[in-house]
Amino acid sequence: MGLVSKAVSLLALVAFGWYLVRITLVSMQLFYPTLHVPVLKPHVKLPPGTTFHAMAWQEPFEYEAAMYVSTMESFLPQPEQFLNSSELIWHVGPESLSQRRAKFDTKLSITLPETVRTNNDTVLYAFLFVQKAGKMNPHPDLTDEFAAYARAALTSVRPRQVERKHALLGESSEGKENREVSNALLEAGPWVPHGKTRVSWEIVLEDHKFPEWSFPLDLAPYLRVSKYRGRKERPYIPLIWENPIAARAKHWTPLTNQTSVSQDTPLDVKTIDVDVNLNGIILGWFRLCNYAHQGLSELSSPRALIRHSESDVDNLKEMVYEVNPTMLAITIIAMTFHMLFEFLAYKEDVSFWSGKSESNLQGISRSSMLMKFASSWISFFYLYDRRKDTNIVVLLGAGAGAMVEAWKLTKVLSVRDFLPFMRASKAPATVDSKDKSADSADAVLRDQVQREVDQQTAWYMVRVCVPAMIAYAAFSLVFLHHESYISWFLHVSLASVYTLEFIQMWPQLFINHKLKTVDMLPLTAFLYRFLLTFIDDLYALVVPMPLIERIGTLRDDVVFIVLCYQWYKFPRRKTDKQKKE
């Protein structure tokens, strides 16, 4: 068994190393597509005389920008008509970009045109033009081949967000009737016009040289090559776009107070407040956001094999866009270590318990095992009830963990532990007459300490924890808002699970303290769990989650710190193999 365990660990480490190398190569490809690294990323052999595409703009970048709003989808067919019908709402102007990292932001109040307010099918667009200083006099030169421009939709027809949570007690009949109407409309799909309150323009001013007509496939739709005849090489215009993952569901506000509208229903809102920013970014950030947008679009698509809710997609958008890029990179690396440590922890746990039997379980807390079993299955059922909003990988992981806990429980408990008459018939552990050694006496001591601590734990659970959870359940029912009584029950159950998971290790810590040893625990598995807790702490700082889950992520640190202190303080006892030697 030891040889197989070492082989599995070695395979896991090899797979982890390969995965880490793949992440490094992908990162290099994203951020430096033309970089040459021997062996890892060699140059592709090009025929002699191959020309390269360089960026059309040269340093120092002195430019100005202008933002227009219009109901026209494009300005290319009729530039003059576009300038006459559009409205200039923002102008940045002439600036010198010395570090390629421009950052301009403002808050605009945009008046909706009459055509948009009276016809819900009309879309309002924002156009951003960036070109060399002096070209705008006063409007941009739409015939300039070196001008960079992008478009963003400011209005869209989207489902109205209806707040489902409400007070379960003390709700008036009128409020209940309005809630039932809102829920019925939500299920029917109340699509109403919305306005975007956040527009994030981004421009890439890094000069990367690409072989002739050999652009990366993800960049090709966004690149424009100049047809300027004065040069042999055809330069490309800097990449510019409106970052699609910057705006989430909360950045769309309804333009009408009505729950259902027709095409000709006038809009109630006349102006929308929009946060606008223009940032200079690196090529790697542009490509990362582009890949994230494509992947998230597939996850939320009706054709997706496992469709994710809009809230899940928004959480992923927030994790990518709002977090500092350095912290995001650290999180991705930590994610790989998390997968490795979690696999090794499960392996060590299963390896430890597979060799256990009823005769060598002294010193292991049954109450901790029962609480872990209950908390894991309640968590699994909670996630299964929310399976529409839960990632299938998370759900399968919770199910696998619950099955492992059930299997471990069969190692420490049997039917007679729950039946008084069978428990009484069980012969107490005594010292073997053939071997009156210290080991037999120590086994009796461990069994006595374990039973004493488990009885004390049950006493505190009944007299302290249960009343506290009842009080919290009553507080949640009276003062907090929930979708239904089932939602309230699941919320209270989840809080109970977090409480159980916090106290489930304390009985074992007391046993360790009284016996002055930690030999009865799978320390290798606990070491991996200890590392996992700190990686989860990093997730709690980066990944958006409710406060109760964030607290639940940080709660295990205290227990593991105490366990590490015990492991350091108490001397390790000799194993049977060492004693024979």
Provide DSSP, 324-393.
-HHHHHHHHHHHHHHHHHHHHHHHHHHHHHHT--GGG-TT--HHHHHHHHHHHHHHHHHHHHTGGGS-HH
Q: What is the mean pLDDT of the chain?
A: 75
Per-residue pLDDT tens over the stretch 116-129: 888 878 899 999 99
Cα–Cα distance measured from residue 370 to residue 244, given in angstroms and rounded to the nearest whole number:
48
**For 349-377, what is the mean pLDDT?**
70
pLDDT at 350 over 80: no
**For 240-256, what is the mean pLDDT?**
91
- 10 or 49, which is more confident: 10
Q: Which of the four pLDDT bands, split at 50, 70 and 90, describes residue 296?
A: confident
Per-residue pLDDT tens over the stretch 374-415: 778 877 877 776 665 555 556 676 787 788 888 888 777 765
pLDDT at 65 over 80: yes
Q: Tokens 């409480």 belong to which residue?
A: 499
pLDDT at 581: 47
Of 453, 457, 451, whose CA–CA distance to 426 is shortest? 451
Q: Give the number of other CB atoms < 10 A from CB of residue 409.
A: 15
The strand pairing partners of 107, in sequence order, are: 275
**For 341-359, what is the mean pLDDT?**
72
Helices (H), 386-437: 392-412, 420-425
Lowest pLDDT segment from 310-319, 355-364, 416-425: 416-425
The percentage of residues in the chain with a pLDDT greater than 70, rounded to a whole number, is 66
- 147 or 428, which is more confident: 147
Question: In the numeric block, which tokens belong to residue 419?
Answer: 């039946």
Identify the three-state secondary structure at position 229: coil
- Chain centroid offset of residue 101 CA: 27
Q: How far is CA 568 from CA 290, 514, 563, 572, in A?
A: 49, 15, 9, 9
Q: pTM of this prediction?
A: 0.67
pLDDT at 275: 94
pLDDT at 43: 63
Q: Is the dihedral of CA 387, 392, 397, 401 positive or negative?
A: positive
**For 252-265, what is the mean pLDDT?**
80
- 541 or 329, which is more confident: 329
Q: Which of the four pLDDT bands, split at 50, 70 and 90, describes residue 542?
A: low
Lowest pLDDT segment from 60-69, 222-231, 501-510: 501-510
Cα–Cα distance measured from residue 242 to residue 130, given in angstroms and rounded to the nearest whole number:
13
pLDDT at 188 over 60: no
User: β-strand 103-111 against 271-281: which pairing, if any?
Assistant: antiparallel
135-145 burial, b if ≥16 CB within 10 A, otherwise e?
Answer: bbeebbbeeee
pLDDT at 266 over 60: yes
